[in-house]
Amino acid sequence: MSAPRVLVVDDAELTRTTLIAVLARSGFDVRAASSVADTQGVMQSWMPDCLVLDRRLADGDGVELARELRAQPSFAALRIVLMSGDPLSDEAAAAADRVLLKPAGARAVIDAVTAALAN
Amino acid sequence: MTDVEAFAEFAHDLRGAMGSLRLVMSSLVDEDDAEQRRVFLTMAEDEVQRVAVTATALPALGAAASDQSTPVAVDLSAALADAAAGALRYGVRATVQSGEPTQVLSRPDVLALVLPAVFQLAAGTSGATVVVTETINHSVAITCRTGALWPQARHLFARLVLAANGTAADSDELRFLLPEAP
């Protein structure tokens, strides 16, 4: 069985690099994107099982991106872990399978991805 | 954007940086690869530098929010020299190459806080920047030569420039315009 695919979407290079390392170390097949446009580009050729998605991106809103993906039948199986610097409303949180409030540690991210994929 | 929204955005940026740093710290516990640890630590140091620059910018934005004074003529050469001395206290060496003495319209107390913050922003992790001024039509362009900027740096720069009653120019460098005093 192949490793679950995780796409990390965050405009902070340090966060991307760290999450790639910790998730890969936990057995996930990991790639990263830095923006909404970058995410859409990656997903045209590489379909992830789970997105670890920052709420605020330079070219858009992570919640809006999650909603757009959720609305497409082709992404019905996609799991989404949303990371946010501020608490989310229930309505916004509903766009994701799991929500992590920053600052979150590496173990919390791994646990959230694992739990989202187990749904 | 209101001042409250701007400060909320800063709080958000700082929380994001803390998030990155916490991720790095917690990942180092399980990191056996010495080279990977070194890479993480170097990146964490850069992130701390970015937080320090953001913290330097906050008093400038606070001053701009509370200062209700009308812009007056300010001796830009003197202001730049004072700002270079101020930036040096933060470990940033700003070399000012200004032309003729020029008077610009700005709020002096705010400008005195904005300029060192802009210098620090431009210097980044290199700790140095060259500042060049030139008069264009009825404005004075102030250009800070910079290396690599992090994604949010231009947004922070634009906020600082606006606080000083200036206009951020579309440029690869950090460049902004202040109106020349009549």
pLDDT, tens digit (0-9, with 9 covering 90-100), for B68-83: 889 999 999 999 999 9
ipTM of the complex: 0.78
Q: Which amino acid is at A48?
A: P
Contact residues, A window 69-108, toward B, CB-based 8 Å cutoff: 83, 85-86, 102-107
pTM exceeding the 0.90 threshold for the entire prediction? no
- Is B12 in contact with A103 (Cβ distance < 8 A)? no
Distance, CA of B26 to CA of A104 (rounded, Å): 9
Cite the DSSP H helix spans in B29-127.
34-66, 76-88, 108-123
Q: Answer yes or no: is pLDDT of B9 > 80.
A: no
C-beta of residue B6 within 8 angstroms of C-beta of residue B61:
yes
What pLDDT, on a 0 to 100 scale, did the predictor assign at position B173?
85
Residue B99 DSSP code: -
What pLDDT, on a 0 to 100 scale, did the predictor assign at position B142?
93
Distance, CA of A52 to CA of A19 (rounded, Å): 9
Q: How close, in Å, is residue A74 to chain B by CA atoms? A: 31
pLDDT (tens digit, 9 = 90+) per residue, B80-94? Answer: 999 999 889 888 899
- Is B27 in contact with A18 (Cβ distance < 8 A)? yes
Residue B180 DSSP code: B
- Is A15 in contact with B40 (Cβ distance < 8 A)? no
At B62, the pLDDT band (50, 70, 90 cuts) reads confident
Residue B154 DSSP code: H
CB contact B28 to A (< 8 Å): no
- Is A103 in contact with B44 (Cβ distance < 8 A)? no
Percentage of residues in chain B having pLDDT higher than 90: 30
Cβ contacts (< 8 Å) between A83 and chain B: which residues? Answer: 19
Query: Can you give the C-alpha Rg of chain B in angstroms?
Result: 18
At B50, the pLDDT band (50, 70, 90 cuts) reads confident
What pLDDT, on a 0 to 100 scale, did the predictor assign at position B171?
80
At A81, the pLDDT band (50, 70, 90 cuts) reads very high
What pLDDT, on a 0 to 100 scale, did the predictor assign at position B36?
86
Which range of A61-70, B22-31, B50-59 scores highest in mean pLDDT? It is: A61-70
Q: In what order do the strands lie in the sheet with B174-179?
A: B93-97, B128-136, B139-144, B174-179, B167-168
At B101, the pLDDT band (50, 70, 90 cuts) reads confident
